Amino acid sequence: MNKSCFKRFGIMLDCSRNAVMQVSQVKKMMDYMCAMGYNAVMLYIEDTYEVDGEPYFGHQRGRFSKAELKEADAFCRENGVELVPCIQTLAHLNAMFKWINQYGCINDTADILLADDDRTYKLIDEMLATLAECFTTRKIHIGMDEAYMVGLGKYRDKHGDTDRFEIINRHLHKVCDMADKYGFKPMIWSDMFCKLAVSSSDYYSTANLEAIRKKADLPENVTLVYWDYYSTDYNHYCNMIEKNKAFARPVVFAGGAWTWKGFAPGNQFSFDTTLPAVKACRDRGVKDIFFTMWGDNGGECSRFAVLPALCYSAELLEGNENMSDAKARLKAVTGMEFDDFMLLDKLDNPTEKLDYNASKYLLYCDPFMGAYDSKITCGVNGYYKELYKKLSAIKATDDYKPYFESAAALADVLSVKAELGIKTRAAYLAGDTKALKCIAENDYTAAIEKLRAFHTKFRKFWFFENKPHGFDVQDIRLGGLIMRLESCRDRLLEFCDDTEKKIPELSEPVLENDRSKSWDNIVTANVI
């Protein structure tokens, strides 16, 4: 395999989950991508771009101005990189729908636009007109993924029960016709079309080619993007590529450079999924491939934290599986050591039992509720203490110092906070007021002080890479955590002075749970 096997290979920068990148940082990423051999960048902007005639669209979200989009586009064009807008024209518009008076009338349900409504298509036309002005490319990603409830809200009230594949396909035809008016060649995420074509929520395992072919009347000018970030099985990718090809339209593959777990990247898992995916794309004739960097649930992770994954992917695209060459490439491009970046993964790997975004749920897990304490074992505090030392010792360049300092400060918090709930509950159930007082006065106080220090470092990183909008959410989350720890500390001290003042939460058993590890599910079982 060599690079000529792939016509277009790029990345996708998520600028819609609160973390809208500074244009200077977008340019820096473009420089790195050029140096690694990538030739395309998608800018994922749900409502975070200026649209003529729509003052509420992206208001207070740090949206890109038209001037900023043109600046980024010109920079890419000068450096041989194609900048492609990646928007949404059906679902994933929940932030926009907060403006009820402006957009409630075209809200089908949840985060979904109302199909077959003239007001919806007026808005989409305004989107396309703005993007046609700001971007040189005539390629555009129009989204349409994960619209699970399409046709089940206002649409059903207005039109009655309707074949949902027909709704989404008719909507797609309309949007593609509108895109054609501006010379755009649209692409879409393929998941909803595959799922609705076979009436299955899990087309990854149940879809069949014949059922898809029967409903494959998609617009002639559309390209399907098959996204898959989870499998390490070569045959799985091959099978899914064939299912997407059943629509008889061009197919692009989107893999993942894992930035969406929480504070820490997932470079190693990105390696494990990308290798079989690239091989399958080569063997099944997929010519275009890109790697997404999502920012789910807050956008805490730096996009630059997955540079190891992007370097390795660049080598794979050239047919080279040698990790040492990826390490050399990263050093040449950034001046930083590959293994220093890999330490960032370690924030989520303190023990084999802890999984996914451990640093996020250990940080936000309530010390009295203990929702995730069943996953924690003694020694986790010590793990983070050692990781803090290692991260602090890294001599990062100015381009990366804010993120490494933030990561080190998080490890420092977790060196106290990770086991706080376990230690608190054990001492309370044992009736050991002496131990509880020590925990309250020392551990809780230390955790609060370290949290304040982390907040300062995290804020510095955020404002270095992103626009300020969206950090209000981090202020609320971290500020709430500090206040909660202060409240818990005070209640512990009150109990130590008067053991008749029970703490009911600490008397409840800690149960295994499989709740989603997003912030709202981590912090409480109650309603937010």
pLDDT in tens, 82-125: 999 999 999 999 999 999 999 999 999 999 999 999 999 999 99
pLDDT at residue 221 in the model: 96
Give Cα 196 to chain centroid, integer Å: 25
CA atoms within 13 A on the CB side of 482: 15
pLDDT in tens, 364-412: 999 999 998 988 888 999 999 999 999 999 999 999 999 999 999 999 9
Give the Cα separation of 162 and 170 in Å (integer).
12
Looking at the predicted structure, is the pLDDT value of residue 200 above 80? no
Closest CA to 193 of 236, 224, 230: 224
**Count of residues making up the chain:** 528
Looking at the predicted structure, is the pLDDT value of residue 203 above 80? no
pLDDT at residue 4 in the model: 54
How many degrees, rounded to 5, is the angle at CA 472 between CA 468 and CA 478? 125
Tell me the CA distances in angstroms from 368 to 13, 371, 373, 422, one per residue in order: 38, 9, 10, 9
Query: To the nearest whole percent, how much of the chain has pLDDT over 70?
Result: 98
Amino acid occupying residue 483? M
Give the Cα separation of 193 and 425 in Å (integer).
49
Looking at the predicted structure, is the pLDDT value of residue 2 above 50? no
pLDDT at residue 262 in the model: 97
Give the Cα separation of 454 and 415 in Å (integer).
12
Give the Cα separation of 130 and 124 in Å (integer).
10
Q: Residue 360: count other Cβ atoms within 10 Å of its Cβ.
A: 24
Query: Model pTM?
Result: 0.96
412 or 1: whose pLDDT is higher? 412
**Could you tell me if 130 and 65 are in contact, meaning their C-beta atoms sit under 8 angstroms apart?**
no
pLDDT in tens, 424-443: 999 999 999 999 999 999 99
pLDDT in tens, 286-328: 999 999 999 999 999 999 999 999 999 999 999 999 999 999 9
3-class DSSP string for 77-123: HHCCCEEEEECCCCCCCCCHHHCHHHHHHHEEECCEECCCCHHHHHH
Looking at the predicted structure, is the pLDDT value of residue 205 above 80? no
How many degrees, rounded to 5, is the angle at CA 275 between CA 270 and CA 281? 115
Q: Summarize the confidence of residues 454-483 as an average pLDDT.
A: 98
